[in-house]
Chain A
Amino acid sequence: MENNFTLIIANKFDYCIDSIIKWLKYHKLNYLVIDPDKKVQINKIKLNNQYIDIELNIKGKHVALDQIRSVIFWKGRIEFELPAIQKEELVKNMVIALDKFLKRELNTITQYIYNELNKKRIFGLCITKNPNKLILLSKAREVGLKIPNTLISSSDKIIKSELLQQELITKPIQEIFNFRSKKEIHTSFTHFIDVEYTNENKDLIFPSLIQEKIEKKYELRIFYFNKEFHSMAIFSQTDDKTRTDFRDYNYEKPNRMVPYTLPNEIKKKLKKLINVIDYHSCSFDMIVNMKNEYVFLEVNPLGQFDLESVTCNFKIEKKIVEYLKS
């Protein structure tokens, strides 16, 4: 492999990664993608008293640690090519224990490689688990950002009594539920809770998150990268007509989306939060409510940025490549 290249650890078919690669090619910069289909062999990880050396074999390409200039961590992971292990003679419980053991062995190796890669110039975030959304929400509150009043409860009664006081929405606590079969697709989005919903008078429900419904002037999509905020306002406060037939409307008359400049006070708070959670780049979802207050909804370390990049002509992909080669 050539020297000074960018290692990309990503999933297949990611629009953001594809557009970054276009700019890498345009600047004739070398890069190598590790996606889930490319299993990695370890030539060597040398830890001795003089130096550290890592050499991986990625589908026939031999990659040494010091050839790598920069790394993009984007929803991918390193997976190793493994030999078949004879387990036929082992008892079932032994197989389970052995698998667990081998998995931990591999994990330690990958974590160590990530640790060394993290010393390079980085875009994205090396994460093995998605950060806990509730912890993030509480940290946003701690830095002084306004958050929506939130309740998690497994009591139907408590939720109903909240509902008497204000309009509520419900959404998944951590991630969107996605189910695809040949016949149907189920996806969970944010939903309003109908005041008159019934639950056959059973009090115990699955623990669910509910939040106050915020009347919004506009939504903000904010992509933070290299100490710069790229913000876009989305005028999604639609009238009744569009609510009933949203898709049709969206096609003919997409919501207005324009560049936005955050007030310094909000930028300061977001920067504080970024420092606390230690992200290189991330995207924020916020709302400006009818009282012109900024309400934090969530932060995503690997949020897609292509929509604001194109709509607001931010050229984020181009800036990322300029950052990676600098």
Chain B
Amino acid sequence: MVYKLFACCIPVKGYRRSIIVDTQRMNYFIIPNGLYEILINNECYSPEKIKKELEFKYNKVINEYFEFLLNNDLIFSCAIEQINCFPKLSLKWDAPHHIINAIIDVNEKSQHDYNSIFNQLSNLLCKHIEIRFFNKVTLSFISEILLYSDYKSFQSIDIILPYSIDLSIVELNKVLDKYSRLTNIVIFNSPDITEIKNEGEDKGQVLFIKNKIVDCTSCGEINPSSFTMNLDFFCEVQTFNSCLNRKISIDVTGQIKNCPSMAQSFGNIKNTSLENVVNNKEFKCFRNIKKDDIEVCKDCEYRYICSDCRVYVRGHKDVFSQPAKCKYNPYIAKWEGEKDYVSIEQKGS
């Protein structure tokens, strides 16, 4: 009898340590690089054989490793004749959406034609849209916009708006009731944190948060709370950028960009079609910057569960440099705030 790793549990090596990403239960486990080597260099594992190969010097460590792997349901015992029945997962990625995620930014000066924007996004089979209001806005105005979102490709719609004393919970719930695809209404600058969950299973929720989102510069933060541990994401980031792949945004003035924080515009929505932009080679080039191409990130064990940012980066105008707002140093395996942390600038590879 030998052990095999469940195919959905995938080891990722970092400079100082590794992780096992449990893509099924959406979790990750930090492991030493020694265990990573054992897991990656063998098709299946026999603790006794491994101990023997290490001349019985590390029996206790090997026992601990297997206890950990079994306790977390990462490996299973497999009959010798069935070893070849358990292949690895394919990590090929694709999705039936030309655009997966669109952000539309709005302030008091914006003059977006929502009907046209939603039609164009729907033709691109866009899955999620996020509308961010940076100015005070009435619910009747939001309702008016959402009318155009009926019968479109969108599976979910998020609305972000600033707190205002006239926002009534009853009225918010009415909006949620009316538009089934509305998933979240996030209200920032709120005096309190409140979460109003709706009873119905498929209904959206209202979140009041204290964060002060003033404009799009409050983006690009990288920390464990933004990690994504599912298989679709894991596959996508093997080949594509974890922030900009199949994304599009329209900023407050109508400029079409990869992300609202970017300077480069591919034309204004008033006179440029989204489909043209999506097919533009230059627009698409960011999609192919994967974590394995990015300095520092390529040495980090979290690279396949982590988000990315191509705007706020460390190297001046170097599109392949690490996100500037990342608070992790993989060369010492420490987060900012941990004892003995030093930044990448002080101690890189």
The B-contacting residues of A in range 239-254, CB under 8 angstroms, are 253-254
For the complex, what is the distance from the CA of A301 to the CA of B257, rounded to whole Å? 47
A313 and B235 contact, Cβ closer than 8 Å, known pairs A22-B96, A253-B73: yes
Known A22-B125, A292-B79: A260·B8 in contact at CB below 8 Å: no
How many A-B residue pairs have C-beta atoms within 8 angstroms? Tell me: 68
Assess the B8–A258 pair: CB atoms within 8 A: yes
Q: In the bound complex, do residue A315 and residue B81 qualify as a contact, i.e. CB atoms below 8 Å apart?
A: no
* B198 CB–A CB distance under 8 Å: no
Binary per-residue interface labels of chain B (55-81) against chain A in the complex, 1 for a CB within 8 Å, 0 otherwise? 000000000000000000100100101
Q: Which residues of A contact B88 (CB under 8 A)?
A: 259
Tell me the smallest distance from the CB of A288 to a CB of chain B, in Å: 8
Listed A/B pairs (13) with beta-carbon separation below 8 Å: A25-B96, A233-B85, A254-B25, A256-B8, A257-B8, A258-B89, A259-B90, A260-B87, A262-B85, A311-B8, A312-B7, A313-B91, A315-B92
Least Cβ–Cβ distance between A283 and chain B, in angstroms: 18
Q: Is the interface of B mostly helix, strand, loop or mixed?
A: loop
| Given A26-B96, A26-B125, A318-B94, A254 and B24 contact (CB-CB distance below 8 Å) | yes
B125 and A261 form a contact (CB under 8 A): no
Which A residue's beta carbon lies closest to that of B78?
Answer: A217
| A235-B235 CB under 8 A given contacts A257-B24, A258-B8 | no
User: Does chain A have a CB within 8 A of B6?
Assistant: yes
Residues of chain A contacted by B87 (CB below 8 angstroms): 259-261
B82 within 8 A of A: yes
Closest B residue by C-beta to A288: B82
Interface SS of A by simple majority: mixed
CB-based contact A26/B73 at 8 Å: no
Question: Which of A25, A257, A292 sits near B82, CB closer than 8 Å?
Answer: A292
Bound CA–CA A288/B85 (angstroms): 12
Most buried by A among B81, B82, B98: B82
CA distance in complex: A152, B87 (Å): 39
**A side interface size, CB within 8 A:** 27
Complex contacts, B96 vs chain A, CB 8 Å = 19, 22-23, 25-26, 317-318
Interface residues of A in 281-318 (CB under 8 A from B): 288, 292, 310-315, 317-318
Closest residue of A by beta carbon distance from B80:
A292
A315 to B94, CA, bound (A): 9
Q: Contact flags (1/0) for A19-35 with B, using CB distance below 8 Å?
A: 10011011000000000
| A22 vs B154: C-alpha distance when bound (angstroms) | 12
CB-CB < 8 A to A22: which residues of B? 96-97, 125
A60 at the interface (CB under 8 A from B): no
Q: Are B90 and A256 in touch, CB under 8 angstroms?
A: no
Q: How far is the CA of A318 from the CA of B6 in the complex (A)?
A: 25
Residue of A nearest to B93 (CB): A313
A258's partner among B86, B98, B125 (CB-CB below 8 A) is B86
- Interchain nearest-CB distance for A261 vs B (Å): 5
Contact B84 A261, beta carbon cutoff 8 Å: yes
- B231 part of interface (Cβ distance < 8 Å): yes
Interface residues, chain B, with chain A CB atoms under 8 Å away: 6-8, 24-25, 73, 76, 79, 81-82, 84-92, 94, 96-98, 125, 231, 235
Q: Give the CA-CA distance A260 to B86 in the complex, in Å.
A: 5
Closest 8 A/B residue pairs (Cβ)? A26-B96, A22-B96, A258-B7, A23-B96, A313-B90, A261-B85, A256-B6, A261-B87
Q: Is A263 an interface residue (CB 8 A)?
A: yes
B231 and chain A: residue at smallest CB distance: A313
Query: Which residues from chain A contact B7 at a C-beta distance below 8 Å?
Result: 258-259, 312
Q: How far is the CA of A292 from the CA of B24 in the complex (A)?
A: 25
Known contacts A253-B25, A254-B24, A259-B87; A235/B8 CB under 8 A: no
Whether B85 and A260, one on each chain, are in contact in the complex, defined by CB atoms closer than 8 angstroms, is: yes
Task: State the Cβ distance, B171 to closest chain A Cβ, in Å.
Answer: 31
Q: Which residue of B lies closest to A27 (CB)?
A: B96
Residues in B with CB closer than 8 Å to A318 are: 94, 96
Are A26 and B76 closer than 8 Å at their CB atoms? no
CB distance from B240 to the nearest CB of A (A): 15
Q: How far is the CA of A315 from the CA of B25 in the complex (A)?
A: 20
> Distance (Å) between the CB of A62 and the closest chain B CB?
24
Task: Report how far A223 CA is from B170 CA in the complex, Å.
Answer: 48
Considering the complex, give the chain B residue whose CB is closest to the CB of A258.
Answer: B7
Contact B125 A313 (CB under 8 A): no
CA distance A312 to B90 in the complex (A): 8
Given contacts A263-B85, A313-B90, 12 further A-B pairs with CB under 8 A are A22-B96, A25-B125, A26-B125, A256-B6, A257-B8, A259-B86, A260-B85, A310-B231, A311-B24, A313-B89, A313-B91, A317-B96
Q: Nearest-CB distance from B85 to chain A (Å)?
A: 5
Residues on A with beta carbons closer than 8 Å to the beta carbon of B8:
256-258, 311
Please, which residues of chain B bring their CB within 8 A of the CB of A317?
96
Q: What CA separation (Å) do A233 and B73 show in the bound complex?
A: 15
CB of A26 within 8 A of CB of B98, answer: yes
